[in-house]
Chains A and B, each alone.
Chain A
């Protein structure tokens, strides 16, 4: 049983498509993070949020605390968005990570 579940595990999209990655968690949290990891590369933090919605460029992250659910949206997807997207939650003293969603955007 994982504290953080992501879906889908793998996602292939055509360039320009709108993409949604989902994250559900089972623990009480003080913050949720969305991370991006390129193959062979390091991890970059995209968003940290505890309520509502945040937007950065073509990326939008939302969270519903009552439903224990968050979504990461990518508008007008581009091949350079191809990466693994990881959801992580912070309970106040521990971090739990999802196994990631591998996104491939085809030109």
Chain B
């Protein structure tokens, strides 16, 4: 498998629950990005990693959101105490340096 994979593809949760998403980038890619996209809008940047270091976080990323990339390979995005406004598609992408980004299929989160 040479693409970016994300799991789960869909997640339905109740408000107040915690959720965690996983992204597996293309193996030789050192950069990994998280984005959020709501219906009818373009993606919004959340954060990115270079290897295991989190280099930038958007002001959109509230304290309830945390992302990790502990070994510089896969990454997890956790949302604590989910709110209905967190419902969105969460996209992951990876790249080699500042080159072309390759996107995963996304995880669609629905908060009831």
**Chain A residues in the interface with B (C-beta under 8 A):** 4, 30-31, 33, 35, 42-45, 48, 86, 88, 90, 93-100
Contact of A30 among B33, B98, B99 (CB under 8 A): B98
Given contact pairs A42-B106, A43-B93, A88-B42, enumerate 17 new A-B contacts (beta carbons under 8 Å): A33-B101, A35-B103, A42-B103, A42-B104, A42-B105, A43-B91, A43-B103, A45-B101, A45-B102, A48-B99, A93-B55, A94-B58, A95-B33, A97-B35, A97-B43, A98-B42, A100-B42
Closest residue of chain A to B43 (Cβ to Cβ) is A97
Chain A contact residues: over half helix, strand or loop, or mixed?
Answer: strand
What 7 A-B pairs are tightest by C-beta distance, nearest first?
A97-B42, A95-B45, A43-B103, A99-B42, A42-B105, A93-B56, A97-B43
**Cα–Cα, bound, A42→B35 (Å):** 13
Number of chain B residues whose Cβ lies closer than 8 Å to a Cβ of chain A = 22
Smallest CB separation, A70 vs chain B (Å):
15
Closest residue of chain B to A47 (Cβ to Cβ) is B100
Interface flag for B62 (CB, 8 Å): no
A-B contact count (CB 8 A): 46
Closest residue of chain A to B58 (Cβ to Cβ) is A94
Closest residue of chain A to B91 (Cβ to Cβ) is A43
Chain B contact residues: over half helix, strand or loop, or mixed?
Answer: loop
Q: Specify which chain B residues have a CB less than 8 angstroms from the CB of A94 in the assembled complex.
A: 45, 56, 58
Q: Specify which chain B residues have a CB less than 8 angstroms from the CB of A86 in the assembled complex.
A: 42-43
Q: Specify which chain A residues have a CB less than 8 angstroms from the CB of B101 in the assembled complex.
A: 33, 45, 48
Interface positions, chain B 37-59, Cβ under 8 Å from A, are: 40-45, 55-56, 58
